[in-house]
Structure 1
């Protein structure tokens, strides 16, 4: 009987907690819906290849490969397009050999380029063999049965980023670096302010002449120092312990992660104003944190429909992911990442203002 009484009491409490019910039933459906949008739009990624001095027959064979598009360039323009991310590889035919340079920021595109080039060369050799046999048959029928050899073409591979062993983890590690900074700062800052409120410390502080803006900036400065330390540890561990190559300036990586940490800090403080307990703070993770990882760039954005991409523009991780990937894999300069940094600062400004306004409801005097 006592067990049933406890069960009845707990059940009633759960039924009264609408947020917990939403977490259990609505949040999983929301996440599955997002995954449906992200993963089912397009299962393949198109590859753009720049060709230099490549004969038309091979170019035609390359274009026949599904999701492969070729573009003819001069050598200098092709290399520039590769650095700017307009093409994924440059195929240069010189002295009867192929010199291929891969961007290698996406291992799947590199492998697709290698497979397409090899299959096209084989197709071209077969075509040449058929023509040779037909010529021999028309001129010298007695030689038609003899074997005709074709010279194998040598391919020289070069990589702008990494090497032939670069894999999917190398592509997503810059984004994961930023995501873990965002996630832990968001969670810790939100929990900290929530504890201050539930313990009564925040109410006593608001009863003094201290301004709401001073409270918000005080929290952001104190946790900002911890965010700096956390950012340094994560970045340095990723680069040296995991042996991740950084093409650009490591200081830019630290800068982007630090600005993202401040955004996460302001975000966490804002979400804590809507929670009444640590458990309720955890309930925001499926709604706030998980969508960030879906639209951060880990899943190629070019495989998504335009309508789905719109969601990414309202999420700070999208801009941090673009900047971090650009610096780590493409060696972006400060001028090339200033736009996403400014957007992150705009997020920070808006969230900070909302935090200042949000504290107003806790001020009793």
Structure 2
């Protein structure tokens, strides 16, 4: 009887907690559906440029599985590749291929490009087979691995994930312990409380961001073509975004378990739509999720520095987006405090 009573009490407790019940039953289905949509997307179609290609050569090629663009000069094709409009380009000298140039920052895209070129070579010169040409790389090299390409995304993800969880739970404890209630009753203004908490947590956020970036690059040997200072700046800005978001969402949780429930909704979509999977292979109605998440901009900025070796001009736009997210979440934090009720 006592065991049955205990079991009934637990069942009733779950039934009363509608959010926990929904997370247990619905969240796994949402994540599985997301995985299905992401990994069962379309095959990637390479974007290939032709420089000085004769019409007779183009007419021989099967261009159904590529996006082809013609250019009059190598300079124009190179600018398009650096702008990510092309995955690479083929330069012709008369009817013959003179050289192949790859943008190079994504090994899987490089493989798709070279696979098409080998097939195209058989169409152009069936008796000679594929020409012995070594591809040139604008970024990276033929030795670049998947970890080098995925590394910036993973670096940003772990910085975001741990800061989000730690800041959310810490701020939640401030509420449940009564400390926040006392601060709200003090002469401190709402925005002063929010800024004070963010500065306090921000010190440890800076330490964590520095440690993660340093360990990944100098201990694990993650590819690093640009300046380490920029990597620290990007990671810090992302961590501040995670910090402000974590403190904001903690206002809607009554305990640590409910705070962790935000992971499938907030963390998981960012992981898949931050560039870990090529967004061009995902349906248009789903790929829009990427640009509304902070990790999307942080991952692109980290790739620009770590893989492509760019500088400030390439990342300042992404940093502004991260700063905008942080400012938005801080503003919403102030509004949440105004409606705060003691737990």
Taking structure 2 as the reference length, what is the TM-score of the superposition?
Answer: 0.91
* Mapped partners of 1:355, 1:199: distance in 2: 19
Distance 1:272 1:151, change over 3 A: closer
Distance 1:101 1:6, change over 3 A: same
Choose which of 319, 337, 340 in structure 2 pairs with 1:359: 337
Instruction: Tell me the equivalent position of 2:236.
Output: 258
**SS where residue 71 of structure 1 aligns?**
strand
Choose which of 324, 330, 333 in structure 2 pairs with 1:346: 324
Choose which of 177, 184, 191 in structure 1 pairs with 2:169: 191
1:76 maps onto 2:75 in alignment? yes
1:214 maps onto 2:192 in alignment? yes
Q: How does 1:39-188 map to 2 (within 5 A)?
A: 39-40=39-40, 42-64=41-63, 66-93=65-92, 98-126=98-126, 129=127, 150=128, 153-188=131-166
Shift in Å at residue 235 of structure 1?
1.4
Is the Cα–Cα contact under 8 Å of residues 121 and 129 in structure 2 kept in the other structure?
no
Which is higher, the Rg of structure 1 or of structure 2?
Answer: 1
**SS where residue 273 of structure 1 aligns?**
helix
* Mapped partners of 2:339, 2:118: distance in 1: 67
CA-to-aligned-CA distance 1:87-130 (integer Å, 9 cap, x gap): 1112224596642221122212211222222222223222xx5x
* Mapped partners of 2:283, 2:331: distance in 1: 33
Is the Cα–Cα contact under 8 Å of residues 61 and 124 in structure 1 kept in the other structure?
yes
* Mapped partners of 1:11, 1:160: distance in 2: 60
1:14 maps onto 2:14 in alignment? yes
* Mapped partners of 1:105, 1:151: distance in 2: 28
Choose which of 242, 254, 269 in structure 2 pairs with 1:276: 254
Q: Which runs of 5+ in 2 are unaligned?
A: none
Shift in Å at residue 18 of structure 1?
1.0
* Mapped partners of 2:282, 2:143: distance in 1: 27
Shift in Å at residue 189 of structure 1?
0.3
Q: Which runs of 5+ in 1 are unaligned?
A: 130-149
Is the Cα–Cα contact under 8 Å of residues 48 and 89 in structure 1 kept in the other structure?
yes
Is the Cα–Cα contact under 8 Å of residues 100 and 157 in structure 1 kept in the other structure?
yes
CA-to-aligned-CA distance 1:212-268 (integer Å, 9 cap, x gap): 222211111111111111111111222222322233332222212111111100000
* Mapped partners of 1:119, 1:205: distance in 2: 69
Shift in Å at residue 157 of structure 1?
2.1
Instruction: Tell me the equivalent position of 1:145.
Output: none
Is the Cα–Cα contact under 8 Å of residues 50 and 68 in structure 2 kept in the other structure?
no
Shift in Å at residue 183 of structure 1?
0.7
* Mapped partners of 1:121, 1:26: distance in 2: 50
